[in-house]
Amino acid sequence: MTTRPSDAARLLQILNSETEAVSLFVVVLKKEQKALAQGDTEALPTLVEEKNVLGGQLATLATQRNVLLAGQGLAGDRPGVEAWCAGHPEEKVVAAAWAGVLELAREAKELNRLNGELIALRMQHNARALEALRSGNNPLDLYGPDGQAQPPNRLRINDSV
């Protein structure tokens, strides 16, 4: 496997950019977690947009990394980087940068999982609150089996809650 001197530098540059982007993604996920825990739904659309932008940047960087690896006859993504690092043990800085990307990715994955659980809990809470307001005896159906709106008396809000 032959490597041009610039290949190691280019891979390191990409991995450093990925580290920065994943770090920012983790920060946004932490903000999202705080907003979800506090019930601050106003903040969520902006955070989703930030995550989308960072996700696009990460996809672009992954493509650049995979093109570089493919140019050396290696697979893309994790197997390719690990094969590159195994073939270039002297490039400890590249291996360290890759380990940093993986660690941040694990943190982001766990934060995303926890945020998903918070969203599910919030949805359950909202469904229960809506059920209580609707008197608790009727299902949450707004439309009958025929597709028509339910009569108003079934959708009456129970103000004794």
> In this predicted structure, what is the pLDDT of residue 107?
98
What is the Cα–Cα distance from 2 to 143, expressed in whole angstroms?
Answer: 66
> In this predicted structure, what is the pLDDT of residue 105?
97
Q: Considering the chain, what is the average pLDDT of its residues? A: 88
> What pTM value is reported for the model?
0.77
- Neighbour-count burial of 135, counting CB atoms closer than 10 A to its CB (0-12 exposed, 13-18 middle, 19+ buried): middle
Q: Are 18 and 100 in contact (CB under 8 A)?
A: no
At 42-97, the pLDDT tens digits run: 999 999 999 999 999 999 999 999 999 999 999 999 999 999 999 999 999 999 99
> In this predicted structure, what is the pLDDT of residue 134?
78
Tokens of 86: 């195994």
Percent of the chain residues past pLDDT 90, beyond the cut: 70
